[in-house]
Chain A
Amino acid sequence: MIRTENLTKNYGKDRGVFNLNLDVPKGKIYGFIGPNGAGKTTTIKMLCGLIKPDSGKAFVGDVQVTPYNISRIKKKIGYMPDIFGVYEQMSVWEYLDFYGAAFKIPVKQRKKRIEEVLALTESSHMIDYQVTSLSRGMRQRIGLAKTLIHDPEILILDEPAGGLDPNARIEMRQTISRLKNLGKTILLSSHILPELSSVCDLVGIIFKGKLLVQGTVKEISASLQEKIIINVTVDSDVNEAKGILERIDCVENVKILEKNLLQFTFTGAREQIKSVLRILIENKVVVRWFYEEEIDLEDVFLNITRRA
Chain B
Amino acid sequence: MLKNPIFKKEFSLISRSIQNNIIICSYLIFLSITIVALWPSEGVLSLASAAGKQIFSIFFSINLTLILLMVPAFSASSITYEKENNTFSSLFVTLLSPFEIMSGKLFASIICLLLVVLFSTPIAAICSLTGGISNLLLFKILFVLFLSAFSYAMVGLAASAVCERTSTAVVLNYAIIASFAGGSWLPSALLSNLLQHFQWLFHLIRSFSPYDVIFYLLYPEAYSLTSRVMTTNFFNPFTVFTCFSIFLSIVSFMIFERCIFRPSAKTKAGVNEQYTDFKKLVKRKLSWPFYLIDPLKRKKNISSFSNPVFVVELRSRIFGNPKFIIRTISAIFILSLIIMTLVALQYGNMVRPESVRLAAIVFQLGVIALIAPGLSSGLITDEIASGTFVMLRMTPLSPITVVLGKLKATFFYAMIFLISSFFVLFAMAFLEQQNLFPETSILSGMWWSETISRAKNAEWWSEFWNTYRRIFLWVILLLLSALTFLSTGLFCSAFSRKTSTATATAYVITAIICVLSFAPLILRNKLSHELSMKILSLNPVASALQITNSTFSDYPGLWIKNIYTLVTLVIFFTLISTFRTWLLFRKQE
Residue of B nearest to A99 (CB): B395
Q: What range describes how many residues of B lie at the interface?
A: 35 or more
B217, chain A: closest CB distance, angstroms: 47
Question: Among B302, B394, B586, which residue has its beta carbon within 8 angstroms of that of A101?
Answer: B302
Please tell me if the beta carbons of A128 and B296 are within 8 angstroms of each other in the complex: yes
Q: In whole Å, how far is B390's beta carbon from the nearest beta carbon of chain A? A: 6
A100 vs B275: C-alpha distance when bound (angstroms): 23
Tell me, yes or no, whether A291 is within 8 Å of chain B by CB. no
- Any B CB within 8 A of the CB of A179: no
Task: Look across to chain B and name the residue whose beta carbon is closest to the beta carbon of A138.
Answer: B272
- Partner of B387 from A79, A81, A98, A104 at Cβ < 8 Å: A81
User: How near does chain A come to B10, taking the closest CB pair, in angstroms?
Assistant: 25
What is the CA–CA distance of A71 and B272 in the complex, to the nearest angstrom?
A: 37
Could you tell me if A98 and B312 are in contact, using CB atoms closer than 8 angstroms?
A: yes
| B589 lies within 8 A of chain A by Cβ | yes
Chain B 373-389 near chain A by CB (<8 Å), digits 1 or 0: 00000000001001111
Known contacts A91-B296, A102-B397, A110-B301; A50 and B275 CB within 8 A of each other: no
Provide the residues of chain B in CB contact with A101, threshold 8 Å. Answer: 301-302, 304, 306, 308, 311
Taking CB atoms, residues of chain A closer than 8 Å to B271 are 130, 132-133
Chain B nearest CB from A85 CB (Å) reads 3
Report which residue of A50, A84, A89 has the largest number of chain B beta carbons within 10 angstroms of its beta carbon: A89
Which A84-115 residues have a C-beta within 8 angstroms of B?
84-91, 93-94, 97-104, 106-107, 110-111
Does A146 lie at the interface of the complex (its beta carbon under 8 Å from any beta carbon of B)?
yes
Instruction: Specify the chain A residue showing the minimal Cβ separation from B165.
Output: A88
Interface membership of A162, Cβ < 8 A: no
Interface residue ranges of B301-321 to A (CB < 8 Å):
301-304, 306, 308-309, 311-312, 315-317, 319-321
Number of interface residues of A (CB under 8 A): 43
* B304–A106 CB distance below 8 A: yes
How distant is the Cα of A12 from the Cα of B296 in the complex, in angstroms? Answer: 51
Write out the residue numbers on chain B whose beta carbons fall within 8 Å of the beta carbon of A289.
none
Q: Is A83 an interface residue (CB 8 A)?
A: yes
Within 8 Å CB of B306, what residues of A?
Answer: 101
**Alpha-carbon distance between A79 and B383 when the two chains are bound, in angstroms:** 17
CB of B299 closer than 8 Å to a CB of A: yes
- Cα A129 to Cα B273 in complex, Å, equals 9
B18 at interface (Cβ–Cβ under 8 A)? no
- B493 to A: closest C-beta gap in Å: 16
Establish whether residues A51 and B303, one from each chain, have CB atoms under 8 Å apart when the complex forms. no
- Inter-chain CA distance A71–B394, complex, in Å, is 9
Contact across chains for B394 and A74 when beta carbons are under 8 A apart: yes
In the complex, whether B561 has a CB less than 8 A from a CB of chain A is no
Contact B320–A90 (Cβ < 8 Å): yes
Chain B's closest residue to A49 (CB) is B588
CA distance A90 to B311 in the complex (A): 11
Q: Which residues of B contact A107 (CB under 8 A)?
A: 301-304
Residues on B with beta carbons closer than 8 Å to the beta carbon of A84: 387-388, 390-391
A20 within 8 Å of B (CB atoms):
no
- The reply to whether B298 and A91 form a contact with Cβ atoms under 8 Å apart is yes
Give Cα A146–Cα B275 distance, bound, in whole angstroms: 21
Tell me if B302 and A97 are in contact (CB < 8 A).
yes
Asked if B263 CB lies within 8 Å of chain A CBs, one says no
Q: How far is the CA of A130 from the CA of B311 in the complex (A)?
A: 17
Q: Which residues of A contact B383 (CB under 8 A)?
A: 85
Asked whether any CB of chain B lies closer than 8 Å to the CB of A15, the reply is no
**Is B396 at the interface (CB under 8 A from chain A)?**
yes
User: CA–CA, A48 to B272, complex, Å?
Assistant: 34
Residues of A within 8 A of B303 (CB): 107
* CB pair B315 A94 closer than 8 Å: yes
- B276: chain A residues at CB < 8 Å are 128-129
Residues of A within 8 Å of B327, CB to CB, are none
* CB of B266 closer than 8 Å to a CB of A: yes
- Looking at the assembled complex, report how far the CB atom of A233 sits from the nearest CB atom of chain B, in whole angstroms: 51
Instruction: State whether A102 and B395 are in contact (beta carbons under 8 Å apart), knowing that A87-B388, A129-B272 are contacts in the complex.
Output: yes
B-side contacts of A103, CB under 8 Å: 395-396
Tell me if B302 and A87 are in contact (CB < 8 A).
Answer: no
Contacts of B556 in A (CB 8 A): none
- One digit per residue, 1 when the CB lies within 8 angstroms of any chain A CB and 0 when it does not, for chain B 262-285 equals 000010000110011000000000
Checking B301, B316, B396 against A88 with a beta-carbon cut-off of 8 angstroms, the contacting residue is B316
B295 at the interface (CB under 8 A from A): yes
Chain A neighbourhood of B392, CB < 8 A: 102
**Chain A nearest CB: distance from B586 CB in Å?**
6
Q: In the bound complex, how far is the Cα of B306 from the Cα of A74, in angstroms?
A: 21
Contact A87 B589 (CB under 8 A): no
> Are A67 and B586 in contact (CB-based, < 8 A)?
yes
When the two chains form the complex, which single residue of A50, A91, A97, A106 contacts B588, counting CB atoms closer than 8 Å? A50
- Residue B8 interfacial (CB < 8 Å): no
Q: Among the listed B266, B320, B386, B390, which residue makes an inter-chain contact with A50, where contact means beta carbons less than 8 Å apart? A: B390
The reply to whether B299 and A93 form a contact with Cβ atoms under 8 Å apart is yes
- Contact of B388 (CB < 8 Å), options: A75, A77, A85: A85
Is the Cβ of B298 less than 8 Å from the Cβ of A85? no
CA distance A77 to B395 in the complex (A): 10
Bound-state Cα–Cα, A132 to B391, Å:
16
Assuming A101-B308, A102-B395, is B301 touching A132 (CB within 8 A)?
A: no
Pick from B295, B311, B386, B389: contact of A128, CB under 8 Å: B295
CA distance A98 to B396 in the complex (A): 12
* Chain B interface (Cβ < 8 Å from any Cβ of A): 266, 271-272, 275-276, 295-296, 298-299, 301-304, 306, 308-309, 311-312, 315-317, 319-321, 383, 386-397, 586, 588-589
- Chosen A-B contacts, 13 in total, with CB atoms closer than 8 Å, are A74-B394, A85-B388, A87-B316, A89-B321, A91-B296, A91-B298, A94-B312, A99-B391, A101-B304, A107-B301, A107-B304, A110-B301, A128-B295
Known: A52-B589, A83-B387. 12 other contacts (CB 8 A): A84-B387, A84-B391, A86-B388, A87-B315, A89-B317, A94-B312, A101-B311, A102-B395, A102-B397, A104-B304, A130-B295, A133-B271
A residues near B (Cβ < 8 Å) are 45, 48-52, 67, 70-71, 74-75, 77, 79, 81, 83-91, 93-94, 97-104, 106-107, 110-111, 128-130, 132-133, 146
